Chains A and B, each alone.
Chain A
Amino acid sequence: MREFLFYFFAALTVVPGLFVAISRNPVNAAMNMILSFIGLAALFVMLESYFLAILQVLVYAGAIVVLFLFIIMLIDAERAPKSGWLTSLAAVAALALMVTGLLTLLYSGESGTFAVAGETAPAALSQTFGVELFTRYLLPFQVTGFMLLMAMVGVIVISRKDAAEDKGGEA
């Protein structure tokens, strides 16, 4: 049963993921992305990482995809044009190469024997994340803050209306 569920949710993650890439309608792509995220969240549940699963649904399937849909609506994205046969061929070849590479990496035996995953998930509790984030990883956390500040300033700079600029930047 457990194995069946794993393959089911893995397929639910990967197959919509493929459709995100090849779907020509951007709204369909975003919807497929939600499906893919839900599959991923289910995989986290199977690993007993409930906190990550909730975050995955709340943040990614909830907030980020909604943001994507907003942007698609705002810029009124049209259907992507059909790609030429050369592009499709290149994409298929790249996919085949990557899959071969991954399989070689995993099953050729050159990567050493793999360890069996432990019974309990180390990152099951939100407390684990909080403690690590504010002790050991405090510096990267703070750097991320500056990154977001700069990104916000940048978005304002690039998208600000001209009228405000003509008055000398007062907005």
Chain B
Amino acid sequence: MDAEALQSIVATNQWGAIWPEILLGCLAVVLLFVDLFTKSRGVITVRIAIWSQVLLLVFLLGRFVFGSASGELGSHYFSGMILQTASTEWARLFFLFASICVCHIGGVYLASRKLAKVEFYHIVMIITAGLMLLAQANDFLLFFVVLETVTIGFYILVAYARHSRFSLEAGLKYLVMAAFSSAIMLFGIVLLYGVAGNPNLPMTASMPLNFDQLAAFIAADDGSIANRGNLMVTVGAALVLIGIAFKIGAVPFQIWVPDVYQGAPTPVTAFLAVASKAAGFIVLFLLLRGPFADLDFLWVPLLTVIAVLTLLFGNIAALGQRNVKRIMGMSGVAHAGVLLLGVLAAQQVDWAYKAVWFYLFVYALASFAVFTVMAHVAPQEDSDQSLERYDNLIRRQPLLGTILIIGLGSLAGIPPLAGFVAKLLIFVAAFQAELYTLLGVALLGVVLSIYYYFAWIRAAVMKHPFVEDSETAEIPSPTFGSKVFMITLAAATIVLGVYQGMFAIGG
């Protein structure tokens, strides 16, 4: 390759375009050094981790709202591997917000346990940088490398509480299932790569891993041969979608969810439930609106079946659970079903895309509020959190009880909380897209979900006559910072229930 061609490639490697990710990665490394050279274990590092990310979030938010970033939107970098749009800016904000919440919950969780401290924040921040890059990926190579980075981080985090047999078991299960799903996805990518480079088909892609070229290849049709009917294209696309279905925990690929959610430390469960799931949906959008846009005859029925199964299974399986982490796991599966409904609606109703974004934000707010309460209430063995432990919580710790009720109410979709509006928007979109069967199943799911969310709320507000006081151990009061954090989340949940205007920004 001659020097000029190389020059033109290197010129697109604009590192400035991904400075937030680079900054996060560097901060993660700096944290390790700070911990090495300071004496106060854990206290300084968690503050640096949280406040530096808050600063970054505020800066990115300001840049996004006041539009100085809009000039760069829609541009490609790194030989077309990175594509920045308004929705990738949303994704950056979302993952950064999730990272801050997880660091805070992690601080609460680690404070009372003999576990390594700084490494937790280190791994969380690198995963976050990876997730932010994942949303901007426009090439299967970068996509897969970043996805694996994120997944490997999660392997470690799930098994982080290494004295707990639950955590180690969960780590092993997650390792096996995630590696399995990555292998399936990789096989799909390889098939797509192979077929897109075939010179005997209409339009041969010179860089078959690039999303734009792949989209053009799949759309290509020279009259006699249409690439979208090619068996290798459909099988490859189906395998990639199945790999993503594993990540979002959609039925029938949800087998790992309950055990991993129960065994993983509470902050990691929160991270998995919110950030990992959101990443799955962002990637799904990326693919369905990009390379797979012309394969709707394949993915519409595929995702419809998955969505119906997910909605029914998630809600029904959550009914019988007594462990709150398993409840969050199974209800998370049900939420994935609602989001899939939004994804399907977005095929015909364009604004459903924003409804899904709104749902993700609202789900994150409510979930993090609930998970923070869980981190406070959890016993030393974090996996063993039964409903009985929440007995009469509202009188023992009024703040925790109130936050829990607001969070669960929003997850269940009770007006005037934000969860209601989020569900309503998705259902209206589905109605406009004429997905009546799916809508009926989703409504049934909402009714079912009220049962198990309210069983939890009932445990928190009432005193169970058969639970002795000695069984409900003393719950320490949250620190001031934690109180502020939880009140902020709850307040945002209420405010977004009546005002959704800011989500009209961008794309």
Contacts and interface: CB of A to CB of B under 8 A. Distances in A.
Given A105-B235, A143-B130, A138 B122 contact: no
Interface stretch (A12-20, A74-82, A86-94, A110-118): A110-118
A131 B2 CA distance: 11
B414 interface: no
Interface of B: 1, 6, 9-10, 13, 18, 25, 29, 32, 41, 78-79, 81-82, 114-117, 119, 122-123, 126-127, 129-130, 133, 141-142, 145-146, 148-149, 152-153, 155-156, 159-160, 162, 191, 195, 198-201, 225, 229-232, 235
Contact of B116 (A137, A139, A157): A157
A20 to B, nearest CB: 15
A160 B116 contact: yes
A149 B10 contact: no
Interface of A: 101, 104-105, 108, 110-115, 131, 135-140, 143-144, 146-147, 149-151, 153-158, 160, 165-166, 168-169
Contacts of A111: 195, 230-232
Contacts, number: 110
A131 B145 contact: no
Given A105-B235, A112-B195, A139-B81, A157 B9 contact: no
B6 A131 contact: yes
Nearest to A140: B145
A24 B162 CA distance: 28
Nearest to B127: A150
A144 B146 CA distance: 8
A13 B25 CA distance: 40
B123 A154 contact: yes
Nearest to A153: B119
A101 B10 CA distance: 41
B333 to A, nearest CB: 24
A105 B123 CA distance: 40
A144 to B, nearest CB: 6
A115 B1 CA distance: 24
B123 A153 contact: yes
B155 A147 contact: no
Contacts of A112: 195, 198, 200-201, 225, 230, 232
A135 B153 CA distance: 27
A144 B229 CA distance: 35
B32 A138 contact: no
A105 B122 contact: no
Given A135-B6, A140-B81, A158 B149 contact: no
B79 A104 contact: no
B149 A157 contact: no
14 contacts: A112-B201, A115-B200, A135-B10, A136-B9, A136-B79, A137-B141, A146-B129, A147-B145, A150-B127, A151-B152, A153-B32, A153-B119, A157-B119, A158-B160
